[in-house]
Amino acid sequence: MSETPRSLQELGALLDDVSSGCSQIKGQQSLLEKSLVADRARLKETERYLDVSGRVTTALEKLNEEIFRKEIQLVEDSLTRALQDVLDQPISLKAEVSWKNNAASVSFEVERDGNPENIMRGQGGSVANILSVGLRIFALRNLGDDHRRLLVLDEQDCWLRPDRVPELMSLVRQAAEKLGIQMIVISHHDEQLFEIHADRIFEFTPQRGGCVQVEKRELVAADEDHEL
């Protein structure tokens, strides 16, 4: 019978241990519940951020697409005017924009009175001459300030009739002045076609022995205003 008190004492100690353990568990449970509440709050905040972020991303993509389409429209309108001014014909440029994987692709074609015309063969290559100059100017215009504003046009008038060359050079001059671009034009055409629109003209004449004679030509006074 002497072991009974010890058993009761042991039972009491065990109950105390169980009670202490329950208290610890309840304490841990309380901490876990608080942590769960905090995690749920953070999850909701993250979900709200992702929702806003998704809408912002979509809005930016639409904005970039709109800006790009406006830029392409500017190219289309500007080069249509260039074609008509230089060739004095009812030719227009059409640009078709398509999107794939957030990347834009642009295809060009020319029309005459609503009928498609081959760009490379149009007007014996004159259309390609004009578009090549215009697109290169637009490309240089959109480069950053760390790129030198210099454009070399090597035989970019090769398919133009001589009487249309001054019209092209007028557009080149205007673009150079407006965009602050230095233009170097290399051409086989007579230098008199460039006198009105050039700042300097140098004539290169091949000589025997592989040498080249370089002569600076005198310019005539411009009869027209080059303001844009």
pLDDT at 143: 84
What pLDDT digit, counting tens, does each position of 197-217 carry?
999 999 999 998 889 999 998
- The pTM assigned to this predicted structure is 0.67
> Which residues, at least 6 apart from 158, have a Cβ–Cβ distance to it below 8 Å?
125, 129, 187, 188
Please state the domain extents for the chain.
Answer: 130-228
Annotate 128-152 with DSSP letters as a single string.
HHHHHHHHHHHHHHTS-TTS--EEE
Instruction: Write out residues in the chain with pLDDT < 50, as ranges.
Output: 1-4, 222-228
Beta strand 150-154 with 115-117: parallel, antiparallel or unpaired?
unpaired
CA angle 199, 226, 159 (to 5 degrees): 70
Q: Are the C-beta atoms of 190 and 162 separated by less than 8 Å?
A: yes
Q: What is the CATH number of domain 130-228?
A: 3.40.50.300
How far apart, in whole angstroms, are the C-alpha atoms of residue 103 and residue 137?
A: 22
